[in-house]
Amino acid sequence: MTDTWSAMGRCFSIDARTKEIQDRASVLPVVSESSWHIEAESGSNPKPDGEQPSAARLPADQPAVQKQQHILIVEDSKADVFLIRESVQSLDLRAELNVVQDGEKAIKFFEYVDRDLSAPCPDLIILDINLPKRSGGEVVRQMRQTRRCANVPILVVTSSDSERDRDEMAKLGVQAYFRKPSEYASFMKLGDLVKRLLEGQAHGCA
């Protein structure tokens, strides 16, 4: 069974299982504007309480638990947030994905993290350029001036393919630039770039 889903003018053919996931994703994880509490959505699927394995039963050669990564998505399009989340969660990553929906909220988030040392600084920022209230460029400039998040790697995900935007982002020290493709399968390649950035291996454009 297949269906067609239109996102930001891009039509994707998706199977029934993906459609079900999309329907369940109608409420997206966001950074609360009032308290800046992060409502996290983990990329892992822990077992119910009754099925949690005991640490005593783990094999001696069990690898160390993977560090949980924190990814901040700055994107106003719910459709594109869904696609970004799908691309990241398709990988073997232990990550929390958090969303702010305009440039002003992103800047306030970084100010909050600077004030509250208990708040986690993102390990990666996925940023759209064309945002409401404050542009992606303004967000990057403000972030680079913070104490705690100045060196966080940034992955730009945008529909813009202009040389001017690419040059501006490069001058601001953005680690990678990903143009939003029109095909679902091509968008899912974003996940590999995210993983490489978290591992410190990626730099450039896509």
Q: Where are the beta strands (DSSP E) in 92-203?
A: 95-100, 124-127, 154-158, 176-179
Domain containing residue 70: CATH number: 3.40.50.2300
Question: What count of other Cβ atoms lies within 10 Å of the Cβ of residue 63?
Answer: 7
User: Which distant-in-sequence residues (6+ apart) come within 8 Å of 90 by Cβ?
Assistant: 188, 191
Supply the pLDDT for residue 8. 39
CA atoms of 77 and 89, how far apart (whole Å): 18
DSSP symbol at 55: G
Supply the pLDDT for residue 206. 52
Structural domain includes residue 133: yes
Cβ atoms 124, 71 nearer than 8 A: yes
Supply the pLDDT for residue 110. 95
Phi and psi at residue 76, in whole multiples of 5°?
Answer: -95, -15
Supply the pLDDT for residue 61. 55
Cβ atoms 123, 152 nearer than 8 A: yes
Structural domain includes residue 19: no
| Among the listed residues 116, 102, 108, the one whose alpha carbon sits nearest the alpha carbon of residue 34 | 108
Cβ atoms 142, 110 nearer than 8 A: yes
pTM over 0.85: no
Cβ atoms 72, 126 nearer than 8 A: yes
Structural domain includes residue 24: no
CA atoms of 76 and 156, how far apart (whole Å): 14
> How many angstroms from the chain centroid is the CA of residue 46?
20
Structural domain includes residue 59: no
Tokens of 2: 């297949």
Domain that holds residue 104: 30-39+66-205
Quote the number of domains for the chain: 1
CA atoms of 127 and 137, how far apart (whole Å): 10
Structural domain includes residue 80: yes
Supply the pLDDT for residue 179. 95
Structural domain includes residue 106: yes
Structural domain includes residue 126: yes
Q: Does residue 154 sit in helix, strand or coil?
A: strand
Supply the pLDDT for residue 64. 53
Burial of 118 (0-12, 13-18, 19+ CB in 10 A): exposed
CA atoms of 158 and 174, how far apart (whole Å): 13
Tens of each residue's pLDDT in the chain, 206 residues: 433 333 434 444 434 444 444 444 443 444 433 334 433 333 434 444 444 434 444 455 555 556 788 999 999 999 999 999 999 988 877 888 999 999 999 999 999 999 999 888 999 999 999 999 999 999 999 999 999 999 999 999 999 989 999 999 999 999 999 999 999 999 999 999 999 999 885 555 45
Supply the pLDDT for residue 202. 52
Supply the pLDDT for residue 94. 81
